Amino acid sequence: MALQYTEDQQEFINMVKEFGETELKPHVKDWDEAGRCPEGAFDKAFDMGLHMLEVPEEYGGIGLNFETTAMIFEELAKYDAGYAITLVSSFVALRSVILRGDKKLAKYFADIIAPGKFAAFSLSESNAGSDAGAVAATATKDGNEYVLNGEKTFVTNGNLASIYVAIFRTSDDGNKGLSAFLVERTRDGITVGHHEDKMGLRLSDTSTVNFDNVRIPADNLIGNEGDGFKVALNSLNISRAFVATLAVGIMQRALDESVKYAKMRKQFGRPIIKFQSVQNMLADMATDVEASRLMVNNTMKMMDNDLSVRKEGAMTKTFVSDVAQDVTSNAVQIFGGYGVSKEYPVEKLMRDVKVFQIFEGTNEIQRMTIATELNKEYEED
């Protein structure tokens, strides 16, 4: 592997490997079939502090940088990316509040999740997917409170979260009319509705959340009124890089399984790895994994240096999730008929990886972002 790990990073990866082997591997198949994780499935992850890795120490976290956190989560995603994204979504939501600079609010948030609770980030609605500016759910100021109304869809951790970072409309002014709020699950008027029964990433909860005259203190506004779009973009920039790292984990697993199988499976009297077309598939898969990992690593390092990753994050997420489709599909191909069987591990990887082209902004929208940034870069003075 081209990426060199420090001794610390390698030790952290080993810790998660041990966790994956003992706590996930024996259960993933059942939980995937059930379409959800059972009660308590995250208890040991909380004990280890996996939900707080990237959170700064002043907020009770472990204080690892983005680069190292990503390496750890790549390893976890080899066992199950849905399990991993449940933890990622939580700390990314917190990070979006930390980035707005309100320490008190961020500390309040961190104190809620630190003992072992989840957070969620909620922007999408039934009519506001790619077009985030179409958010219709409203927040109306009433004295020292805001009153929230509307329905949010496709909320990762919707049903698990104790706290939401949610985007509501405070004025009609398009993107500028959006504001971000911290909403505690315990507020009256919140109900969790439809649970998506997904083709993949089935250990991750995706649910609809309804807000019916939910009253929250005005202090729960993140930043100022009108900052909602910025909060969302900040959050998405980080989560794009992290979902890309999870896709690398899925791909690496697909590659590991494929090479092992190709060495073991014999046809025409020899292991199928001896056939050139199988070799070509494996070589392309390995190259894609390598390129993806390096791209993720570079984006993470940029984030660690407080650089904007608007373009690079979009590129990384798009490239990685596109090649991941081929890598997982070729894994199934190499397994032949056994590839589509649920008795073998690779069909799940193919199911799990599809959504990476869709969420955190579809790859079509990412290409628009990349082009917009390019256009700006090449603008004549």
Partner 1 sequence: MNIVVYIKAVVDPDKAKNDLDLAKGTKEDKLALIINPYDKQAIEAALQLKEKYTGKVTAVSLGSDLATDKILRDALSLGVDEGIQISNDDFESLSSYSPALGTVLAKAPVDDVDYYITGREAGDDNQSITGASIAAALDVDFVDNVDEVEYNDDETLTLTSRWDKSELKGTYKQKPLVLSIKDTANTPRLPSFKAKMQAKKATLKHFKVSDLPDIDVARIKAIADRATTINLAKPEVASKETVLFNLNDDENAVSELVADLKKHSIL
Ligand X SMILES: Cc1cc2nc3c(=O)[nH]c(=O)nc-3n(C[C@H](O)[C@H](O)[C@H](O)COP(=O)(O)OP(=O)(O)OC[C@H]3O[C@@H](n4cnc5c(N)ncnc54)[C@H](O)[C@@H]3O)c2cc1C
Q: What angle do CA 224, 227, 232 make, to 5 degrees?
A: 135
Q: Are 331 and 177 in contact (CB under 8 A)?
A: no
Q: Which stretch, 39-47, 122-130, 209-217, 250-258, contacts ligand X (CB under 6 A)? A: 122-130
Alpha helix stretches (DSSP H) within the chain: 7-19, 28-34, 43-48, 66-79, 81-98, 103-113, 228-264, 276-304, 310-334, 346-353, 363-377
The binder of 119, among partner 1, ligand X, none, by C-beta within 5 to 8 A per type, is none
Cβ proximity to partner 1, 198 vs 253, nearer residue: 253
Q: Rule CB under 6 A: say whether 259 interacts with ligand X.
A: no
Torsion sign over Cα 320, 323, 329, 334: negative
Quick check: 362 binds ligand X (CB under 6 A)?
Answer: yes
Element spanning 132, H or E: none
Is residue 14 close enough to count as binding partner 1 by CB under 8 A? Answer: yes
CA 349 – CA 254 distance, rounded (Å): 7
Instruction: Supply the minimum distance, in Å, between the C-beta of residue 278 and ligand X.
Output: 32
Site for partner 1 in 26-65 (CB under 8 A): 44, 47-50, 52-53, 62-64
Among 123, 139, 238, 254, binds ligand X (CB under 6 A): 123
Site residues for ligand X, 320-359, by CB under 6 A, read 355, 358-359
Report how far apart, in Å, the C-alpha atoms of 339 and of each of 79, 80, 345 are: 18, 18, 8
C-alpha dist (Å) from residue 192 to 152, 207, 272: 10, 7, 49
Cβ-based neighbour number of residue 337 at 10 Å: 8
Q: Which does 121 bind (CB under 5 to 8 A by kind): partner 1, ligand X, none?
A: ligand X
What does 63 bind: ligand X, partner 1, none (CB cut-off 5 to 8 Å by kind)?
partner 1
Minimum CB distance to partner 1 smaller for 220 or for 252: 252
Report the site for partner 1 in 249-278 (rule: CB under 8 A): 266, 269
Residue 47, binding choice from partner 1, ligand X, none, Cβ under 5 to 8 Å by partner class? partner 1
- What, of partner 1, ligand X, none, does residue 23 touch, CB below 5 to 8 Å by kind? partner 1
Q: Are strands 221-222 and 178-184 parallel, antiparallel or unpaired?
A: antiparallel
With contact defined as beta carbons under 8 Å apart, do 88 and 119 qualify? Answer: no
User: In DSSP terms, which residues pair with 206 in a beta bridge?
Assistant: 156
Residues 6 or more apart whose Cβ sits within 8 Å of residue 46 = 115, 116
Catalytic residue among 67, 74, 257, 360: 360
When binding is defined by CB under 6 A, the residue of 122, 159, 208, 234 that contacts ligand X is 122
Active site residue 184: no
Q: Is residue 15 near partner 1 by the rule CB under 8 A?
A: yes
Query: Cα 376 to chain center, whole Å?
Result: 28
Q: Residue 82 or 177: which CB sits closer to ligand X?
A: 82
3 state SS of 256: helix
Q: Which two tokens stand for residue 28?
A: 């993933």
124-163 positions binding ligand X, by CB under 6 A: 124, 129-130, 154-156
Cβ 164 vs Cβ 118: under 8 Å: no
Q: Min. distance of Cβ 223 from partner 1 in angstroms?
A: 30
Footprint on this chain of partner 1 (rule: CB under 8 A) = 7-8, 10-12, 14-15, 18-19, 22-23, 44, 47-50, 52-53, 62-64, 266, 269
Please identify every residue annotated as catalytic.
360
Footprint on this chain of ligand X (rule: CB under 6 A) = 89, 121-124, 129-130, 154-156, 198, 201, 206, 355, 358-359, 361-362, 364-365
